[in-house]
Structure 1
C-alpha cells in the first residue's frame, strides 16, 4: 500500500510539475539557426558531426584523391593542456572553435590561426579523480549567437561567439562527486542537449535539455529506474524497473549518456546511446536481468523528452560494452526499399542497422572479433550470450573480446553517401574479467566488482608478448547493406583517431603511432601522410574560406588506452603527448618544430623488504584505486607518473603524506591527486608501496631500464 501511495504521489507531482516546467523560449532567429544546422552553408562545420545526422561527411572536394599529395601544414596552434585531446573543431563565419583538455575553449581565425579569444572555466584539477578516462573534452555546440560548452566538473555554459563573454552557466549533474561531462552538447530546436559520465562510479544516467537563451532545464530523461520506494518518473521507467534486481539505485545504476546524441529532424526524435550498468559485475550488487535502459540506443521526443523506443544492444552488460559510440542517420536501400535508418557500431563488436523512426531491428554483423556471444538472433537482434562470458557465474577469468576499450569506442566513424561505406576506427583488443569475492562499494574510486589484481598483466615475457601480438587496430570500411567489410587498413595498435569522409573520395584519420593520413574512400589506398609527433585520437573536420579547403585536427595522446592498459599502452610505439591544433591546405609548406627527446626516470627501485602477503594485499588496493590513472600492473602509459619509477618508493612517510594526507591535492597546496584516506588505511598504503617496489624489481629483472 505504501509503495502504491508513493507511486501515486510521484505521478501526481509529475503532473503538477509539468504545468510549471520551463518551456523552450523558441528557436534562434539570428546567427546559427535550425535550418543552418540541418543543412550547413557550404564550407562550414556547425556541429560535432557536421550536421545533426552525424555523418561526418564533407561535401567539399577541392582537396581530392588526385591532389591530396600536395596537402601541407597551413598553421598550427600549441595547447597548454598536456592531456588527451578529443575535440572536433567547429567552424562558422571564419572562426574555428575548439576545446582542449580541462574544458578550455579557444576561438581562432580559421584562415590565419590568430587566437581571437579563450575561455577557461577553471575546472578544479581534483575533478580527475572521478573522471574515468582523462580530463578530455570533445567539443562545443553553436546556436544563435552563442557557443555552448560542457565542463568536466558538470556545468553547461553559454558564451558569446564574438568574444567569449559569459551568458549563463547551469550545473547539470546531480552531484560533483560521481559525475563528469566530457561530451559535446547538441542542439534540437532551441534546446541544448547534454548527458554525463560516471557509470564506473555511482551515477544514474540521464539526458537533459536546456533552453538555449536562459539555461533553464526543460526536461530530463533518466536512463535507469530510481529507488522503487520513491516511485518512477515515467511509465518507461516503470517498465525498466522490472528488468533489474538487487538494490541497484544505491550505486546509481549507470547507463550514462556520455557521448552519442543525434537529433533526427525528419522524425523530431533524439536518439542517444547509453553506457554500462553499474557495477560491471552483476553479482556484486545482486543485479539480474537486462537492466534497461543500459547499453542501449534510446529515442525520445525532442520537445518533451518523452520515451518513444529503445533497442538494447548488450542486455545484462557485464563487460563495459557502452553504446555511446556516435549514432549516424542515413537513407539507404534495404531489401529494395529506401529506409531512413540509424547506423551504430558500439563497443560490443556488432554493427547495427535500425529503423530510425521505430527502432525496428533490420540487421547486425560482427565487424570485429568477439567471443561474448555465439551469435545474434536474426529476427530480434538479441545476442546469444556465451555462457563462459558470464564470469560471475563461472567463477573463472574470462578473456573478453572486445575488451573495455571496445571494438569501437567514442572515436567517431564517418559515412560517405558517395561510396555507401562507413569508416570505423576499429580496435582488436581483449580484456580479462574476474568477479571479486566479497566486494563492497567504497566512497572513492571505481565501483566495478572485479578482482583486477588477479588478472593484471604478469611479469612473464611470453604472456606479455602474446598479448602484445594479439592487440591491434584498423581503419575499417564497412558496408551497412551487406554487413561486410569493403576494405581494411591495419594499424600497429588500437585506439586510433576518428574519421572524416569527403566528396573528394577521401577518408582522413590520425593514428596512435603519430601520423595523420588520407586514404582513397573507395579502395583504401593510402595517398598522403603527415607526421604529427604525437598520438592522434580526435576526429578531423574540413571547412572552406575564399575557395580554399582546409582540413583541421586536434592532436595529443591520452585518454582511456593510455591510462588503463599498462604495457599495451605502448603497442603503437613510445607515444607521447604534444597537444596542438593542426590545419592543412593544398600547397602549404609549414613545418612543426622538432620534438624534445623523450626522457623518463630510470627504473632503479629500492630492494623489496615486504612479504608476499603484503604485496598481494597491495596489488588488490592498487588495482582498485590506482590502475585507472597509473596503469595496469603499475605500468603507466605516459600521461601520468609511472609509480615504479617514483622516488617516493623509498620514502614511506612521503607516500603516506601523498596518498593518505593529500599532500598533492589542491587543498594540500598541490595540483594533483586527492587524498584516499576514506578508502585506505596507512597499512594499506604501505602495502601498495611494497607492491610497487616488487613490480619495479620484477620489470628491472626483465631488462627494463
Structure 2
C-alpha cells in the first residue's frame, strides 16, 4: 500500500508544474527540493511563527558516519529516505524513526582523492518502486524502495583513468534517471549520463565541452559549435572541466531537463584556452531533451570562466509575473554573484542582478546576455588579483527556498573574495591529480597572509586597488530573503563566518528554517527574519531541512553533520569545533518530547608531540620539495588545523610516522577513507612530504610550548590557503 501511495505521489509531482497546480510540497516531500520546481517550499501550515516555540524532538537516528551531510531527505508513502556519506542510503519509518533498511555501497576510495569537497552526497530519487542513489565512485544504484536490496547497478564513469567522481543527486525525467559527475579541478571532461529507469542501461551521454579534435568528430552537433569557442591548442589533455556536479532539474511543463555546468580546468582561461574564447558550455545552464540528450537551448552565465565560477548551484523552477506576462522561469544564483531569471522555454535572459560584491563584471548586458568585464577580471597569470566573489561562491550547493506566497528567495549568501595568483608557464598534466594551477587565499585571511608571501609578490598584492578594501571589509556570510527579480535584499541575518552556510526551508504558514555550524536549528519568521525558535542539536547543520505530515502531525526533518566545501577548515566555534562530528537525522514536531542528546565533546587541545629525527640526507631542499608536493596533493584535505575531520598531520604519533610510506603509498588506511597515492607519488616523493611534515611538527611543538609558557591558547588563527602551483 505504501508503495502504491508513493507511486501516486510521484506521478502527481511530475504533473504539478504542467497542470498549474499550487507550487510546493504537500504531505509528502518527493525529491530533495520538495516539489517539481525544487522550491524547498511547503504548503503545510500546522507549524507557524506563533507555535514554533513548542517544537521539540520527535525522534533521532544515528547514521554511523562522521563526514559531511548535504542531502535533504525525501518522504514518500510514510517512509523517510536519507542519502548519506559517499552514497549510503537509509529508510526510516517517518513517524517513529524505526530503521527499515540501510544500504552502504562498496566504494573505490581512490575516487575519494578527486572529491575536492569531502565524501558527500546531495540526495536520492524515488520512483518506480525504487530508490536511486549515486555512490562517490560513480556507480548508480537502484534499490528496492521496500527492502533496500539492489535491483540494478551501473558504472556511469566514462574513463576511470581520469579524476571523475560523483557527489550529486540523480534526477528522474520520464523513463530515465540522469546523473552528473564531479572533478573539474582534476583532469576531467564534464558530462551527464541518462540511464534507463528499469534496467540501468546507459541511454545517452551529453558532454559539456568538446573533445580534442585530433580524436575525431565531436559526438554531437552542438559540440561542433562549441569547438569554435575554444583555442585549437587548448589543454585537451586536462579535459576542460565543466563537471555538472549538481543542479539537474526535470521540467515537466516544457519536457526539458535543465543542467547547470561547472568551472573550467585549469582555472585560468589563458592556460586552458590560450587564445581565449567563451569555452562553451562551461559555466552555463543548458536545456536537454531527456529522451535523446539533444541540446535545445543554452545560456552561458560566465563566458570563458576564469575564476572557478560554477553554474552547478540549485535552480528553482516557478512562474513569475514579468513585463505584464506570466512567465515560466528558472531562478538561478550561481557562484558568480548574480541572480538570473531565465525563461525556461527558450533560455532567454529576463533579469540579472548582483546579490553580493562583484568586481569581475560591472553588470550584465541585457541585450546580449553577456557580463560587462572589468579590469579586475584580467588575467591573473600576469600578476595577482583580488576577485569578488571568491571561489566558495556568492551562492553554492546549499538549497535555496522560494515562496510563491511572498515572492521571495531565501538562501545563504556569501560576500568574500579571493586573492588568486600562480607561477608562469604551462604545467604538465597530473593524471587524476589537481590541475587547477592556481593559489587561492580568501579575503578573510588576506590581511594576515600577505606578509607570509615572498616579498615581491607581497608588494604586488598590497599595490592592488582592491587590497585595502579586502582588508577593511573581508566579507560576511548571511541568510537572506531576496527579491529574485531585482536582486535586492528584503532582510538579512548574519551568520558566524564564511563556512557558516546552510540550506533553507520555507512554508505557507510563514516560517523559514535553516541550520548553522554552531549546531542549531533556527526557525525564523519568513516575513522579517526574526528568530522564533532555536533548537540546540549539538551537531553542525549544513543541509536544507524539509517537512511532511503523517496523519495529523507535521514534522520537520534535517540531516546533520559538518563537511563539504572547506571541510578541513573547521571553524573555531560551534559544534563542529567542540564536539564529535556524529552524523544524525533529526526530526521535530510540536510538543515533541524526545531527548536530544548531543554528541560527545572533543578532548582538550594538547601540545604537538615531538616528531622523530629527520632521516639521513634530508636537506632544506628536500623539505622545500616536500612542502610543494604537500600543497599540490594533500593540503586540499589536510589543513593541519587543531580541529578538522581529517587528521592534523602536525600531531602524528610514532606509529603513524613509522607507517608513513605504507599509509601514503600502499593504502594502509583505505578503510578509513585515506586513498593510496602510489600511482602519482614515488617513494622519494613520500619521503620528501614526510620530511616536510616532521619539520612542520617540530616547529609547531616549539611554537605551542611557547604559547603554554605564555599562558596563551593553542588554537590560534590558521590561514585558509588552497594551492596547486
| Same fold at TM > 0.5 | yes
Shift of 1:413: 0.4
Mapped partners of 2:289, 2:660: distance in 1: 52
Please name the residue that 1:304 is paired with.
Answer: 292
Mapped partners of 2:61, 2:505: distance in 1: 21
Mapped partners of 2:109, 2:69: distance in 1: 16
Please name the residue that 1:227 is paired with.
Answer: 212
Please name the residue that 1:644 is paired with.
Answer: 650
The partner residue of 1:46 within 30, 42, 47 is 30
Mapped partners of 1:469, 1:671: distance in 2: 38
Shift of 1:613: 4.9
- Asked if the contact 2:6/2:77 (under 8 Å) is kept, the reply is no
Please name the residue that 2:182 is paired with.
Answer: 197
Shift of 1:335: 1.9
Mapped partners of 1:448, 1:620: distance in 2: 15
Which aligned pairs between 1:20-169 and structure 2 lie closer than 5 A?
33-39=10-16, 42-169=26-153
Mapped partners of 1:249, 1:628: distance in 2: 24
Shift of 1:612: 5.7
Moved more, 586-595 or 31-40: 31-40
The partner residue of 1:376 within 364, 373, 382 is 364
Please name the residue that 1:688 is paired with.
Answer: 692
The partner residue of 1:244 within 220, 230, 233 is 230
Distance 1:431-1:392 versus aligned 2 partners, 3 A rule: closer
Please name the residue that 1:282 is paired with.
Answer: 269
Please name the residue that 2:555 is paired with.
Answer: 550
Please name the residue that 2:466 is paired with.
Answer: none
Mapped partners of 1:687, 1:427: distance in 2: 38
Which aligned pairs between 1:586-665 and structure 2 lie closer than 5 A?
586-599=590-603, 602-604=606-608, 606=610, 613-631=621-639, 634-635=640-641, 638-647=644-653, 654-665=659-670
TM-score by length of 1: 0.89
The SS at the match of 2:594 is coil
Mapped partners of 1:233, 1:569: distance in 2: 49
Please name the residue that 1:8 is paired with.
Answer: none
Deviations 1:334-353 (A, max 9, x none): 12222111100111111111
- Asked if the contact 1:535/1:575 (under 8 Å) is kept, the reply is no
Unmatched 5+ stretches in structure 1? 1-27
Shift of 1:671: 5.3
Please name the residue that 1:434 is paired with.
Answer: 421
Which aligned pairs between 1:336-415 and structure 2 lie closer than 5 A?
336-393=324-381, 395-415=382-402
The SS at the match of 1:365 is strand
Mapped partners of 1:283, 1:684: distance in 2: 32
Please name the residue that 1:3 is paired with.
Answer: none
Distance 1:468-1:444 versus aligned 2 partners, 3 A rule: farther
Residues 1:574 and 2:574 are matched in the alignment: no
Please name the residue that 1:179 is paired with.
Answer: 164
Please name the residue that 2:546 is paired with.
Answer: 541
The SS at the match of 1:620 is helix
The partner residue of 2:526 within 503, 511, 521 is 521
Please name the residue that 1:532 is paired with.
Answer: 537
Mapped partners of 2:362, 2:575: distance in 1: 31
Mapped partners of 1:302, 1:499: distance in 2: 29
Mapped partners of 2:358, 2:229: distance in 1: 25
Mapped partners of 2:441, 2:620: distance in 1: 14
Count of aligned pairs: 669
- Asked if the contact 1:224/1:255 (under 8 Å) is kept, the reply is yes
Shift of 1:163: 0.8
- Asked if the contact 1:510/1:535 (under 8 Å) is kept, the reply is yes
Shift of 1:209: 1.4
Mapped partners of 1:244, 1:636: distance in 2: 44
RMSD of aligned residue pairs (Cα, Å): 2.9
Shift of 1:437: 2.9
The SS at the match of 2:120 is coil
- Asked if the contact 2:390/2:442 (under 8 Å) is kept, the reply is no
Mapped partners of 1:665, 1:330: distance in 2: 44
